[in-house]
Structure 1
Amino acid sequence: MLKPVLTIATVLTIAAANTAQAQTWQPVKPFKADYKAYFKNAAIGHGSRALEKQANGTYKATSTAKVLGGAGMSYDDKSYFSYQNQRIVTEKFSRHKRVFLGSTDITGKADGKGGLIVKSDDKTKHFPAGSWGNTLDATAFQIQFQDDVKSGQTNFHYHYVEGDKTKDYKFKIDGQETLKVPAGSFKTIRLKRIQHGDRQTYMWLAPKLDYQLIKLQVLRKGKQWSAMELTDFKFQ
């Protein structure tokens, strides 16, 4: 769920529109966002994302979801991170995932060098930082993505840990669109994941809501496979 190329002229136009925000860097504001999830065209569950600023200046981000009332699948992710040179550094994270046949608990902590040490099922793995920068957990990645779109960037490359595996995601700006979702109608920036195969992934972020994720859609052979849409939002 969550917990998940136009011309140069188009890219420059969108980047120019964000210049005012990009001049003074500000991280994404604390928020609470609720979503409805779909498989094909049927509603199958719901999820939420939230960001809180802690008393010591660090941040806590959470991401939760339930499919089929939790009987099919549910997860609860927590990420604690700080900023260094305007980039997120994961300090620690946890994930509790429940599926029909059982559950999994995963924890991770910083290695002090931009990477993560992750423990799952009594096995420990090390995921170092690389040419992409810091290795993030899945929930912190979502916030970093918002930060980057907000700051006017046009190149998006992330390497993050999901469970006990790594994901390598690249996105590009795909245009602008006014989109209507259960939470309302918003002007958005549309981004597309750079990937191979018969699947296409799109994300819509709304500048009015501090570049919050409004909709995520996965197409398979040109038809909607899965999606999630914003149903409620507030700044904390």
Structure 2
Amino acid sequence: MSKNYQNLVMQAIKPFAVGALLAVSISGNAQTMSHAEETELSLQPYKATYTAYKWGDDVGEANIELSNLGNQQYSLIYTSKVSKFFLSDKRSEHSIFTVNEDTVVPSEYYYNRSGTGPDKELKVTFSQQGQGKIEVENGETFDWNGEFDNQIYRIDLAKQLAAGKKSLDYNFVNYRGQLRHYGVQVVDKEVLSLPFGKVEAVKVKLIRESKKRETFAWFAPSLNYTLVRLQQFKDGDEQGDIKLKSFEIL
């Protein structure tokens, strides 16, 4: 198999393998709402399964599961397994966090990737001791200024969308252990036809500094603003599309 051919195939499966696509890579701090605008943060454990598409083909599956660990502590797990031709990619992200007075507080974040190409692992710890630190295992240590990890933005974003917010800003630590900032802009409301069925959803656009990539995500109010579809483009070409297949309250 030639190197060019392998690179082409990796581009086919990479968008779905990276948790950054499913998680939209925007975990972070939302703009502060006034007390009157606040919406109670009520977390309902669930499991959502998605089908990943590339070039019109089903290339794999992804899952998100939210669990209650007790004492206001929760677990959010993302997994994906995709393959195309001779290549494969398997990834997982695991966030442990607490909810303190309707505020999502990250505690630990784990990332793992295996398959074609180099395997990767990452652990990030958010310490509240002293002024607060973010410690990346075998990496940098940052002052913690309220940043989230790479995926628990979904918990906060659901609250913000339910409150009617149209524009949000997020700071986070990505799956590479780097500090990043993105924005979220509500675009419209649409009725989607998904493997799950027809769902009305709020469409948002991820705002990056780089203009090469465009990412759109859809969240369904009827499913507690769970992510139901995500589509990404690079230089105008679609990189991938994931769609909700099943949703289960746990």
Give the SS at the match of 1:82: strand
- Separation (CA, whole Å) in 2 of partners of 1:80 and 1:178: 33
1:30-86 CA distances to partner (integer Å, 9 max, x unpaired)? 110001112242222111001011122210100001111895211111111012342
The aligned residue for residue 10 of structure 2 is: none
1:205 aligns with 2:240: no
- Separation (CA, whole Å) in 2 of partners of 1:87 and 1:212: 18
- Separation (CA, whole Å) in 1 of partners of 2:44 and 2:202: 18
Give the SS at the match of 2:98: strand
The aligned residue for residue 149 of structure 2 is: 137
1:102 Cα deviation from its structure 2 partner: 3.1
Structure 2: 5+ residue stretches without partners: 1-15, 21-36
1:149-170 CA distances to partner (integer Å, 9 max, x unpaired)? 2233223211222222233221
The aligned residue for residue 16 of structure 1 is: none
The aligned residue for residue 9 of structure 2 is: none
Q: TM-score, normalised by structure 1?
A: 0.81
> Could you tell me whether the CA contact under 8 Å between 2:39 and 2:162 is conserved in 1?
no
The aligned residue for residue 204 of structure 2 is: 191
The aligned residue for residue 110 of structure 1 is: 126
The aligned residue for residue 3 of structure 2 is: none
> Could you tell me whether the CA contact under 8 Å between 2:108 and 2:124 is conserved in 1?
yes
> Could you tell me whether the CA contact under 8 Å between 1:63 and 1:77 is conserved in 2?
yes
Cα RMSD (Å) of the superposition? 2.2
Equivalent of 1:219 in 228, 233, 237: 233
The aligned residue for residue 95 of structure 1 is: 111
Structure 1, 211-220 or 107-116: larger mean CA deviation: 107-116
> Could you tell me whether the CA contact under 8 Å between 2:72 and 2:100 is conserved in 1?
no
> Could you tell me whether the CA contact under 8 Å between 1:202 and 1:216 is conserved in 2?
yes
> Could you tell me whether the CA contact under 8 Å between 2:39 and 2:159 is conserved in 1?
no
The aligned residue for residue 159 of structure 1 is: 171
1:207 Cα deviation from its structure 2 partner: 0.3
1:83 aligns with 2:99: yes
Identity of aligned residues (%): 21
The aligned residue for residue 15 of structure 1 is: none
- Separation (CA, whole Å) in 1 of partners of 2:139 and 2:238: 37
The aligned residue for residue 184 of structure 2 is: 171
Give the AA of the match of 2:49. Answer: D
- Separation (CA, whole Å) in 2 of partners of 1:34 and 1:216: 13
Say how many residue pairs are matched: 213
Give the AA of the match of 2:80. Answer: A
> Could you tell me whether the CA contact under 8 Å between 2:80 and 2:91 is conserved in 1?
yes
The aligned residue for residue 242 of structure 2 is: 228
C-alpha change, 1:157 and 1:129, in structure 2 (3 Å) is farther
C-alpha change, 1:227 and 1:97, in structure 2 (3 Å) is same
The aligned residue for residue 162 of structure 2 is: 150
